[in-house]
Structure 1
Amino acid sequence: MQRNRLKPLAYLALSALLLTGCSKLTPQQDTKQEEELRQETKTYTVKENPSYFAPANPTKYIAGTYDALSASLSQNEADQAKAAATYFLADFFTLSNKEEEGDVGGMDMIPSASADAFREYAKYYYYHVLPVIRSKQGPGALPEVTNVELTSQKQEEVTYMDQTYPGYSWTVALTYADSPDSSEFKTSAKCTIIRMDDVHYVDQADVTGAREAGEPASVWRVVAVTDQ
């Protein structure tokens, strides 16, 4: 088993995976084309589990990855880890189902102690393009992950915040739905996940109080998504 030492907030290297083309937006010239890009609004339901919060307004693919995560809870550690990483990557990198830049996907898959910092970082470096793309090119141009492929699995001991946890890493290949900028979306990465005792992430700005952090439980948490 290999040992992988990560600095605190090492997963914030997500900045290396940003949409390089999103800062080069061009107005949509063909209104008809924009209309064709708009996807029909559909609601997909998921089978919730007690370990991970269900995604908000999931796409068909995100719903499928979450259901696979729920099903994996009765399987072995490697299968659980892979399902958790797949769900996170699908929800985080998909913007087509998000309304505003604060709707960061996959937050319950990040260690709760660092989740707020991660959320702000993600808003600044990735999700900030959401309202710009939506207004300039239409919702059909927003990134939508349609497949996550994890290969080259490695079982590792991962040091995160001065503690060592059992974990896994993979080479990631992301596929997106067609959009005007799809050729510029980041399609490859490396993802690292650990098994740790943690609580649910609850947004402190959520005044509805619909979700609770709960008691610590053994769950999978993503700690790094970097260039290969």
Structure 2
Amino acid sequence: MSLEICLSFVVTFVLSLILVPIVGKVSKKLGIIAHTNKRTIHKGIIARTGGYAIYMSFLIGTMIFLKTDTQINAILIGGFIIFLTGFYDDIHDLSPKLKMLGQVIAALVVIIYGDIVLKGFTLPFLPESVSYILAIIITILWIVGISNAINLIDGLDGLCAGISIIVLVTISLTSLTYGRTDISSLSLLLAGAIGGFLVYNFHPASIFLGDCGALFIGFMIAVISLLGFGYKSSSFFTLGAPIVVLMVPIMDTFIAIIRRKVHHKSFSEADRNHLHHKLMFSLELGQTKSVLILYAVTVLFSLCSYLYLFDKVAATILFIALMVLFELFVEATNMIDRKYKPLLTILNIFIKSEYLPSIKDTKPYQRIIQKAKKKYAVILVLVIGIVFSMVFVLNNEEKVETQTPVTTEYIESQNETSLMSDIYNQLVTAINRGDKTAERQLVAAYFVSDYYTLSNKENGEIGGIDYFYAEKKDDFTAYARNEYYKEIQTDINLPEVIRYDILSNVVSYKALSGLEDYSYYDVKVQMTFKEINPILDTLQYTTTVTLIEKDQKFSVVAMENDNG
């Protein structure tokens, strides 16, 4: 993890730490305080605009550490809309319909302006246009759903803030594993801002998030996960990974919907049957212990997501075990209904405990039980066999994907470094997902990593030549031999690029003569060398690569030094 990314977390943490008490005092003077209802458990006058401090800290952090592009601008605009929606609701209590409208508008901004949508989503036998429309609908539902799920778990001191930090740190670590420093930096900027707030929000809380904070955090987590989350797989895992990490708020929301449907209540009607309420009241654990338990559960689900990168079987087994325990908790605490206990009832067929629900003593049930007693071993073996078969298929499917050559026009260097190999794998994944933004960033990254790395070059070999525009390769070769490659000496430590950071990715106004009608892009890349580059006399070097998109492929047409 680079020093700059770590520093971004520290800066937003400190900013939030300073701003929270100031915002709290102003809010109390203006009368913007938390009101009590059936779901709340707080006492006293407590400000409910802690989200304002988080938002301002995050915004200042982005101005300092992030290089904006179209996607970042779209996220910031959408975030501003969702923040205003929540902030207005904190003051005037918006109707559920108007609050939902604000969330949908914010989602449409990131979809239309930022082109942030579920990538690679296709359905067989349907036109691409229909699949794209469905992908947009799923994206809207995802953003709105996660925003509200995060808002719903904001019921105990420090619960929402702590879980959000765990989720964002997991996203950051996973993204760094695959070199997505942009996602990692964005995640830690927000995590730092929430961390400063958590100091004042942990029990006993002196300030609350409010809807402006909870909705903004939920919106940001939903959108950041749509940027890729670091997984090198299908669109299923684009959402599958964050679903696992966000299992606590997602399941709490899902159960709340079922519970209120069963009892014929409105979804917007507050109650005290959420996960945190059950821990606090049914199990009498109190606020602090309940919150810490839900932190631990979130960490375990996050571990599932991260572990999947390295050991899919272990991650799957851990996830199944957690879900079974989760279901047992739901049934034991009557989260849905007193009569809803399917798993406990099935278990009681075999263990016959007086403390567990039992099937009614009727002849039909008795016949079923007698047959089950005789054949339960066979059934159990079959169930175990099916579960492990599914795990094996998932694991084997991934192996087939990695072993099957993917059709791409981009050439992989024979003597590539570990960084180049990692970039190329990401490039293949981006092509399969149809993610053009990531594709051009990775083409630029592979090109500069190959061009500026000399430790793996043979005599006369020019790095990155295969990624340069075909009709201009001769000019590029001549340029390289008269510039960077002219300085090669056998008695120096040949440089190697070991890291890259994408600083910006924008539309370019440059164009080749006769090819003005094609799309051009400027991708600014910062490289870090293994040691000081003796040719450039620096450890880090920044260059802007211009690419043309032609024949469904990106090619480099120019390279400009940004180091002065």
Shorter-chain TM-score: what band? 0.5 to 0.7
TM (normalized to structure 1)? 0.62
- Asked whether the equivalents of residues 48 and 54 of structure 1 are also in contact (C-alpha less than 8 Å), the reply is no
Q: What's the CA shift string for 1:121-176, capped at 9, x where partnerless?
A: 2122121333x2x2x23xxx111001121112212354212322212213221100
1:221 Cα deviation after fit:
0.6
Query: Among 176, 190, 193, which residue is 2:544 paired with?
Result: 190
Q: Does 1:81 align with 2:440?
A: yes
What amino acid is aligned across from residue 542 of structure 2 in structure 1? S
Q: Does 1:177 align with 2:530?
A: yes
SS at match of 1:73: helix
Q: Does 1:57 align with 2:441?
A: no
Query: Among 478, 486, 498, which residue is 1:146 paired with?
Result: 498
Larger Rg: 2
Distance 1:170 1:180 in 2: 22
Q: Which has the higher strand share?
A: 1
- Asked whether the equivalents of residues 89 and 148 of structure 1 are also in contact (C-alpha less than 8 Å), the reply is no
- Asked whether the equivalents of residues 472 and 557 of structure 2 are also in contact (C-alpha less than 8 Å), the reply is no
Higher relative contact order, chain-length normalized (CA < 8 Å, sep 6+) = 1
Distance 1:122 1:180 in 2: 16
Identity of aligned residues (%): 26
Distance 1:226 1:183 in 2: 14
Q: Tell me: CA distance 1:56–1:123, structure 2 relative to 1, closer, same or farther (3 Å).
A: farther
Aligned positions, number: 156
1:115 Cα deviation after fit:
0.4
What amino acid is aligned across from residue 68 of structure 1 in structure 2? Q
- Asked whether the equivalents of residues 506 and 523 of structure 2 are also in contact (C-alpha less than 8 Å), the reply is yes
Q: Which has the higher helix share?
A: 2
Structure 2, unpaired ranges of 5+:
1-404
What amino acid is aligned across from residue 522 of structure 2 in structure 1? S
Aligned pairs for 1:1-228 within 5 A: 49-74=407-432, 75-100=434-459, 102-130=460-488, 132=489, 134=490, 136-137=491-492, 141-156=493-508, 158-164=510-516, 165-179=518-532, 181=534, 184-185=537-538, 187-197=541-551, 218-228=552-562
What amino acid is aligned across from residue 537 of structure 2 in structure 1? E
TM (normalized to structure 2)? 0.26
Q: Tell me: CA distance 1:49–1:63, structure 2 relative to 1, closer, same or farther (3 Å).
A: farther
- Asked whether the equivalents of residues 65 and 90 of structure 1 are also in contact (C-alpha less than 8 Å), the reply is no
- Compute the RMSD of aligned alpha carbons: 2.3
SS at match of 2:503: strand
Distance 2:543 2:532 in 1: 21
Distance 2:474 2:411 in 1: 16
Q: Tell me: CA distance 1:156–1:126, structure 2 relative to 1, closer, same or farther (3 Å).
A: closer
- Asked whether the equivalents of residues 176 and 182 of structure 1 are also in contact (C-alpha less than 8 Å), the reply is no
Q: What's the CA shift string for 1:89-109, capped at 9, x where partnerless?
A: 111110010021x21111111
